[in-house]
Amino acid sequence: MPKPPPITDAEWSLMDALWAESPRTASGLHEELSAPRDWSLATVKTLLSRLTAKGAIRYVKEGKRFHYWPAVTRAAAVKAEGKSLMRRAGRDAHTPLIAYFLRQGKLREDEIAELRTLLDELDDGGAR
């Protein structure tokens, strides 16, 4: 899969819908996203065009309809966004940023175990 491009907040909404179910048509995405976002079909099509140009999604034309699906995984996009945030915030902001995110929601036991393992690896000099 290609490296994820920068994705705007509006584009994340479309990507979330495509990661949840693909392939999708512009009209299907519009039907799902128009009420919460108050988007017109033209807005959805513009965002799809931008995401296609960025390489974040792909499409195939079937008759008069275009069917879209993600070209990048959610995990890769989240990782790229995280790297971008850490770079912009600066080295001294890593601990406060991580603490902020950890406090935002209830972690499952398996997530806590994964974080403990990562911290142990870092403590042993690995995974840097």
Same domain, 76 and 100: no
Report whether 39 contacts 54 (CB < 8 A). no
Q: Considering just the CA atoms, what is the radius of gyration of the chain in Å?
A: 18
Same domain, 106 and 121: yes
Domain that holds residue 105: 90-128
pLDDT in tens, 15-48: 999 999 999 999 999 999 988 888 999 999 999 9
Same domain, 98 and 59: no
pLDDT in tens, 63-83: 999 999 999 999 999 999 888
Same domain, 96 and 65: no
* Tokens standing for residue 112: 């806590």
Report whether 78 contacts 6 (CB < 8 A). no
Q: Give yes or no for residue 2 having a pLDDT over 80.
A: no
Considering its fold, how many domains does the chain have in total? Answer: 2
Same domain, 61 and 96: no
User: Residue 83 belongs to a domain with what CATH number?
Assistant: 1.10.10.10
| Residue 126: per-residue pLDDT | 61
Same domain, 32 and 76: yes
Same domain, 13 and 58: yes
Q: In this prediction, what percent of the chain has a pLDDT beyond 70?
A: 96
| Residue 41: per-residue pLDDT | 96
pLDDT band at 1, cuts 50/70/90? low
Same domain, 65 and 27: yes
| Residue 56: per-residue pLDDT | 96
Same domain, 83 and 96: no
| Residue 127: per-residue pLDDT | 53
Same domain, 58 and 11: yes
Q: Give yes or no for residue 50 having a pLDDT over 90.
A: yes
